[in-house]
Amino acid sequence: MRKTVNTSSRITILLTGIAATLFSLWYGQNNGLLPVAASEDASQVDGIFSLMMTVATGLFLLIQGALLFSAIKFRRRKGDETDGPPIAGNVPLEIAWTAIPTVMVLLISVYSFDVYNTMGGLDREASQDPGPQKVSYRSGQHPGSELLAFDPGQKYLALGVGASPQQKEEPEEPLPVEVNGIQYAWIFTYPDTGVVSGELHLPVGRQIDLKITAGDVLHAFWLPEFRLKQDAVPGRETQLRFEPNRVGEYSVVCAELCGAYHGVMKTTLHVQTPEEYEHWSQEQQIAQADKLENSVAATPNSRSASEFLAPYAERMGVESQTLEQLKASPTASASN
């Protein structure tokens, strides 16, 4: 049997291995693939990504390197009709490539578990399933408290990402916002002030508690810069709790297929300084009060999807035809 690898190539392989390891460690940290992180939770998730990217880069280089090396070095020479060496296994090697990946995925699992717990994913109030509730509201109406599920201790239950163990200690109450997903818009209601808006405004440095529902079909509330996503399920409230730590404008995206215009179901999240946020909130309250005086019967909640979309449609590049279709969209039929 011929030796497949001699000493000098052993050294080359060793050096390449070290270089690949160093590169993996560097690339895991500096890949720049993710958008900005606008909360502490998001940075935590990015930490997992860094670790996984390091491991993945290492394995990528190892396997692709081995393939490329084999394709060049172990190519059959012209006229050589003999077989390779009859090596059918190597127990220590097999144990190594079973054990090392097992340890690695366990490590990633534990790390992920820890981060998920820190994010509040295992908050008892957010991680128990209250089961489905019958949808009894009519189209366009925001679901009321009949949808809320309570545990025996009269504590509010909704699936999703809840308060982190650390947040639970804090005395400050989170800012509640009700999120309703309908084809094809998000409607945000601030129960403290009664403000209803098509864009989400939040103060920086304060805990936010989003209660998410859907009015017709499944949607998913996604904040890419916060690495948070939660499906909006008709008949089942879900929640997301987080704390923005960076002022700026971020996108709010619907990530669950919800119909033909799923792609336009987007809006903006404005994370503002507390003063700016207060200012905006005041303005909205005054504007809505004026409106209420002008139209006796209208409540902000009864606006339909197309009405909500109209102001944003132009900015989003939606053609008028799209809006026409929206008006005839099955929103109404969904809950009738």
Q: Shortest distance, CB of residue 155 to Cu ion, whole angstroms?
A: 29
Nearest distance, CB of residue 255 and another protein, angstroms: 4
Q: Which of residues 217-236 bind Cu ion (CB under 5 A)?
A: 219
Q: How far apart are CA 75 and CA 217, in angstroms?
A: 56
Among residues 28 and 203, whose Cβ is nearest to another protein? 28
Q: List C-alpha distances in Å: 287 to 177, 197, 281, 308.
A: 19, 11, 10, 16
Give the contact letters, 177-216, x = binds to another protein (CB under 8 A), - = no. Answer: ---------------------------------------x
Give the residue among 238, 237, 232, 264 at the shortest CA–CA distance from 251: 264
Task: Tell which positions 11-40 bind Cu ion, by CB under 5 A.
Answer: none
Q: Which of 179, 185, 258, 326 binds Cu ion (CB under 5 A)?
A: 258
DSSP code of residue 249: E
Q: Contacts with another protein in 112-141 (CB under 8 A)?
A: 112-113, 115-116, 119, 121-123, 126-129, 131-132, 134-135
Single out the segment in contact with another protein by CB under 8 A; choices: 203-211, 256-264, 292-300, 306-314: 256-264
- Identity of the residue, 180 or 230, whose beta carbon is nearer to another protein in the bound complex: 230
The first and second tokens of residue 6, run together, are: 């001699």
Can residue 214 be called a binding residue for Cu ion (CB under 5 A)? no
Integer Cα distance of 189 and 141 in angstroms: 12
Which residue among 254, 264, 305, 326 contacts Cu ion (CB under 5 A)?
A: 254
Minimum CB separation from another protein for residue 291, in Å? 30
CA nearest to 316, candidates 258, 254, 273, 271: 254
Instruction: Give the burial class of 155: count Cβ atoms within 10 A of its Cβ; 0-12 exposed, 13-18 middle, 19 or more buried.
Output: exposed
Q: How far is the CB of 140 from another protein (least distance, A)?
A: 14
| The pair of three-digit structure tokens given for residue 272, joined into one six-digit string | 């503002």
Segment interacting with Cu ion (CB under 5 A) among 69-77, 138-146, 211-219, 326-334: 211-219
Q: Does 89 bind another protein (CB under 8 A)?
A: yes
265 binds Cu ion (CB under 5 A): yes
152 belongs to the binding site for another protein (CB under 8 A) = no
* Amino acid identity at 331: T
Please tell me the distance from the alpha carbon of residue 326 to that of residue 61, in angstroms, as a whole number. 49
Number of neighbours of residue 132 by Cβ within 10 angstroms: 11
CB 233 within 8 A of CB 214: yes
Closer of 163 and 254 to Cu ion (Cβ): 254
Tokens representing 174 are 């989170």
* Interacting span for another protein (CB under 8 A) from 45-53, 267-275, 287-295, 303-311: 45-53
Neighbours of 6 (CB within 10 A): 8
Sign of the C-alpha dihedral, residues 140, 266, 248, 28?
Answer: positive
Under the binding rule (CB under 8 A), the answer on residue 268 touching another protein is: no
Decide if residue 329 touches Cu ion (CB under 5 A): no
CB of 279 vs Cu ion, minimal distance in Å: 30
44 in contact with another protein (CB under 8 A):
yes
What does the alpha-carbon distance between residue 131 and residue 308 come to, in Å, rounded to a whole number? 30
Q: Are 203 and 272 in contact (CB under 8 A)?
A: yes
Minimum distance, C-beta of residue 302 to another protein, in the bound complex (Å): 19
Which parts of this chain interact with Cu ion (CB under 5 A)?
219, 254, 258, 265
